[in-house]
Amino acid sequence: MSDFDYDLFVIGGGSGGVRAARVAAQGGAKVALAEESRYGGTCVIRGCVPKKLMVFASEYPGAIENARAYGWGAEAGDFDWPAFRTKLHGELDRLEQVYRNLLSASGVETFDSRASLADPHTVELSSGARKTARHILVATGGRPVKPALPGAEHGLVSDDIFHLESLPKSILIVGGGYIACEFACILNGLGVEVTQYYRGAQILRGFDEEARGLISEEMIRNGIKLHLGTNILEMAPAGSDHGSQSPAGAGSATMGTPAGEATTLPRSAAERGSTGGPLRVKATNGTEATFDKVFFATGRAPNTADMGLEAAGVTLGRHGQIVVDDYSQTSVPSIYAIGDVTDRVNLTPVAIREGMAFVETVFNANPTPVDHALIPTAVFTQPEMGTIGLSEEEARDREPVEIYCTSFRPMQTAFAGRPDRVLMKLVVSVETRKVLGCHIVAPGAGEMIQLAGVAVKMGATKEDFDRTVAVHPTMSEEIVTMREPTRTA
């Protein structure tokens, strides 16, 4: 008989935690899982899934414009946000129930409760109950942060967007990462007047320079007012004096935080602090403007606060992330962590892979390190970007490379008289001829990069691409028809 209540206790009901719990239980382990909020986690409830559905909704104005150019008598009416939101929430409820059913069918015992660590083998639930486990897996994910600046408590974060009672007429989005840019495109497509401030020289830092440059140009052409090298100095409800004290309690989340540092808020704080009225914003470029809403997409932080991790001996990094080794094991042998709470590669499919590797290592006697190399990913801007491997800038710092690149107007929108452009790009090692990076900016780039990613992950060479017959007429055929390098670097 085991000395523990469970072989595995998982804290967190997101994609990674649920997958690990299910697979371990299906293999015969006695497993429990605790989730304080909704099953499915960030991706299903307040991230990838609702965001992608909003992407689909926001693309219809362009599709209708194309339809008219192709001879259809199509007209766009007003977007019915309440109807869409109701159907969206219904779909999320359905998916959450799917997650609950999967756990139940696998024999996982679930607790709708916040969980923290009492010691390396004991989990304490918010109900006061204590459960012991041979192994504990922390998969609590992350949450949005707001910057520490005057008035930030009145702004929204990504979690709030899906619950708006109505769409604002105007919005300021602060940030330049993929969340900021995706929502800028989504809301612009839904008819909101979008302004975006980013303090850097170009959006989508870390992605290929040429690819992100094209996305920036297309966003501006589509009507987004993008201001680079710009940030907020302060903000307040319109009509109030800048610099005045916030209402009692409203600004408590940012009190005492050094200027410029991000502040992690409780999940409900954005809703408690955000104002319903217009906001007056003072920017670093000297301008002042009023917006119906201000949305901060300025980063995320791991959910590790008040969990008893450090008291149990778990080492945390400088940003609050759980430090783990190649097998997702923490500094405490019985405690593991996967997903965004470790701040490695914060993508849902990666968390799922980490969960599978954990089960192989701990329950199947097959030590499996997590493979974070050559992960294909997509940014659902308009146009989309799909990418895998090294950017041109990263590659040329490592070795001599050849760049194969083309940018053109795709057939569908060119026929409609629209100026949209797409980009196809390969980064190739001069020495090995391997394709080190593939970058696509085009409608459907996410779908394309999934397939191109197989070839790049397998180590395909430029000549392997060249030997592949083109599918004509398609945008993606350009990936296999670029014969001469655009440049060397």
Q: Among all residues, which ones are annotated catalytic?
A: 472
Residue whose C-alpha is closest to residue 459's, from 440, 436, 488, 484? 436
Nearest 5°: CA angle at 347, between 230 and 114?
100
**Cα distance between residue 422 and residue 210, in whole Å:** 11
Is residue 437 a contact partner of residue 392, using CB atoms and an 8 Å limit?
yes
Residue whose C-alpha is closest to residue 216's, from 172, 194, 185, 179? 185
**Cα distance between residue 316 and residue 333, in whole Å:** 15
Phi (first) and psi of residue 399, to 5 degrees: -165, 165
Residues shown for the chain: 489
7: its two tokens? 């072989």
Which strands form 293-296's sheet, in the order they lie side by side? 225-228, 193-198, 170-174, 293-296
CB neighbour class for 324 (10 Å; exposed up to 12, middle 13-18, buried from 19): buried
431: its two tokens? 């020495």
167: its two tokens? 């769409």
**Cα distance between residue 324 and residue 470, in whole Å:** 44
**Cα distance between residue 251 and residue 265, in whole Å:** 11
**Cα distance between residue 112 and residue 115, in whole Å:** 9
Interaxial angle between packed helices 60-69 and 178-189, expressed in degrees from 0 to 180 and rounded to the nearest 10: 50
